[in-house]
Amino acid sequence: MKMKRAVVFVMMMLVGVGVVSGDEWKREWVGEWVKVMEGVREVAADWISSVVLKEDGSLWGVGRLAKRLMRREGEEELRKWVKIREWGGVEDVAMGGGHILVLKGDGTVWGIGSNTYGQLGLVEEDRWDREKWVRMEWVKVAEGVVKIAACAMHSFVIKEDGSLWVGGWEEDTDFGVEPAMNWKEGMGWKKVMEGVVDVATGESHALALKADGSVWVVGTNFAGQLGVGERRWREEWTKVMEGAKAVGAGKWHSFVIKEDGSLWGAGDNRVGQVGLRVKEKDYVRSEDYVWRWTKVFEGVKEVSSGYAVTLALKEDGSVWVPEETVLGKVGRERDPEYPWVKVMEGVKAVETGELYAFVLKEDGSLWGIGENGYGQLGIEGVEGE
């Protein structure tokens, strides 16, 4: 099955760069919001690792990828935040399964971590020595960029001229890139679209928002995450909606925020992550896949979603989650029309990992909740303090 194969590919990649071992996943659930750090500007999360950009320009990491990049040996997890690098002029940060991208104010993009699938946008010369494909030092990977995004085996950059470029190569998911004849040809940045202002990526699908408000999708579609009304994948970018102002993506589901603030979802809703009530508790039934774009909420300005967690940030600074997801039980107020509950106020940004979430409040404090088996929430503080 394609879905199973995609998961296996991701796990192989993560094991290959030392992000996870072949052992069972470590489970530790934090069921209440916990204050993690102060003075935070940006936060990025993925499977079992997180990074934050502080107001002073320093970049901090926690979890398994940070452990790998800091060259920490042994079985003990990196559960306290460590400073990865201190530098000025950083505007944004993005995480993939085994790599990190930072965007500086001068438009340069710098990367570190795995380039096993070319996800750093670098062309490797030695096919057989794949240890060299993991960068343990920061390297400049692109210029003239205004926005970055990353998923497990790919990275995306939007350049100043509105062109969208993708780095990474994998036989099933090339995001609109012409098929490569060999591994080396498949590496490096490839231009896939023009006129783009925003991009979001799930595990193996992507959404692009063009300047005219149209939304385009590409990639896998086994759960309906492209919202095209059928299961067939899209190898070429396909227009699915107009009048949008932002896009978001979870692992196997997608979101679009329209100009009127309405939130529309499609894809995997087996645990309520799209924001609709779960029709069946049998996790193999296709009834819980949302095959066409469906309105799920209103008044939204930002959305972030992992696998089983989804956060919607409303215009008034309140954060809401689908009532039937794992975070629904911490809700303090239920929406009268939609199955969403309020969990926090005074928030300016939201971010989600696979099974955990962060909110960045207006005062610069970062709060976390959810899965913490690898210390990815960083609730134990800063190393050395």
Full-model pTM: 0.89
pLDDT of residue 66: 81
- Determine, yes or no, domain membership for 378: no
pLDDT tens-digit series, residues 129-175: 767 788 999 999 999 999 999 998 899 999 999 999 999 876 656 68
Q: How far apart are CA 384 and CA 363, in angstroms?
A: 24
Q: Is 188 exposed, middle or buried (0-12, 13-18, 19+ CB in 10 A)?
A: middle
- Determine, yes or no, domain membership for 347: yes
CATH number, position 232? 2.130.10.30
pLDDT tens-digit series, residues 168-227: 876 656 687 776 656 667 788 999 999 999 999 999 999 999 999 999 999 999 999 999
- Determine, yes or no, domain membership for 385: no
If residue 309 lies in a helix (H) or strand (E), which one and from where to where? none
Q: How far apart are CA 83 and CA 98, in angstroms?
A: 18
- Determine, yes or no, domain membership for 5: no
- Determine, yes or no, domain membership for 27: no
Residue type, 82: V
Q: Give percent of the chain with pLDDT exceeding 70.
A: 86
Distances (CA, A) of 215 to 227, 237, 253, 357: 11, 10, 15, 26
Contacts of 385 (CB under 8 A, 6+ apart): none
Q: How far apart are CA 79 and CA 353, in angstroms?
A: 16
175 — alpha (psi -120 to 50), left (phi > 0) or beta? left
Q: Which domain holds residue 198?
A: 33-371
Domain count, the chain: 1
Distances (CA, A) of 10 to 2, 4, 7, 100, 128: 13, 10, 5, 16, 20
- Determine, yes or no, domain membership for 292: yes
DSSP secondary structure letter of residue 13: H
- Determine, yes or no, domain membership for 267: yes
- Determine, yes or no, domain membership for 348: yes
Give the residues of the chain that fall short of pLDDT 70.
Answer: 1-26, 74-75, 127-128, 130, 170-174, 179-184, 280-287, 384-385
